[in-house]
Amino acid sequence: MHKLEGRVAIVTGASKGIGAGIALRLAADGAKVVVNYARSVEAAERLVMTIRDAGGHAKAVQADVSKPREIDMLFDEAALAFGHVDILVNNAGIYEFGDLASITPDSIDRQFALNVKGLILATQVAARVFPPAGGVVVNISSGAGVTPIAGAQVYSATKGAVDSLTRSLALELGARGIRVVGIAPGIVATEGTSGLGEEGMAPFVARTPLGRVGQPADIAAAVAFAVSGDGGWITGETLQVGGGLRL
């Protein structure tokens, strides 16, 4: 029997990269999955078809989770399609690189609006609509939340905030049977990191005890564990999933 049979998951920012890997794994484990995307409609629909072709259940829903009204719509569409929601994976996020002098008010607002505000507001709705038996929120953080990256000061700050929110939300929501777990990837091969190339990845690989770049499936496996019954005694913790890398 699939571990997540009867469960319904929303994965934000799931059209590609880590989010797509998570959606694929949760569907393979038996969950019905809402593939959220902001702009990449074709990639989202391809992912949905891949899941359905494998015998799973999925629906693509467009929503910018930095906008409260669109978050409400996302959950409404999920409930309409699958009846309820009991897993939320807060994966949507952005990063911008540059030195201190290059940081602008707009770049700060963009990154905090999605990486922090959107996470809080999506979790707020999830806590309101989860069934009485509870549910699970997974926050995709980053190793940068613990060891910040020079040249990604704002992004690192948002992920530090995510780690703090994982703990504080777990403390509040535990009495309602809602677990909140953080997953912090290291360097992962995605569309976003492909521009680094093999040469750009080499310094990270050299500092990774397991000696390779991570794959979306590595992160997805950790998420699948966290939301399953096997992870049922874990809440308020952020698991470092980076092959031992410390950025």
**Sign of the CA dihedral running 159, 113, 24, 139:** positive
**Looking up tokens 């959950």, which residue turns up?**
75
Give the C-alpha separation, 246 to 243, whole Å.
9
37 catalytically annotated: no
Q: What is the DSSP string of 85-152?
A: --EEEE---------GGG--HHHHHHHHIIIIIIHHHHHHHHHHHS-TT-EEEEEE--GGGTSPPTT-
Task: Name the amino acid, one letter, at 113.
Answer: A
Catalytic residue among 75, 82, 130, 155: 155
Distances (CA, A) of 21 to 43, 154, 206: 13, 26, 25
Do 122 and 168 contact (CB within 8 A), yes or no?
no
Give the C-alpha separation, 85 to 36, whole Å.
13
The dihedral formed by the CA atoms of 128, 133, 137 and 138, expressed in degrees to the nearest 10:
-170
Which residues are known to be catalytic? Answer: 155
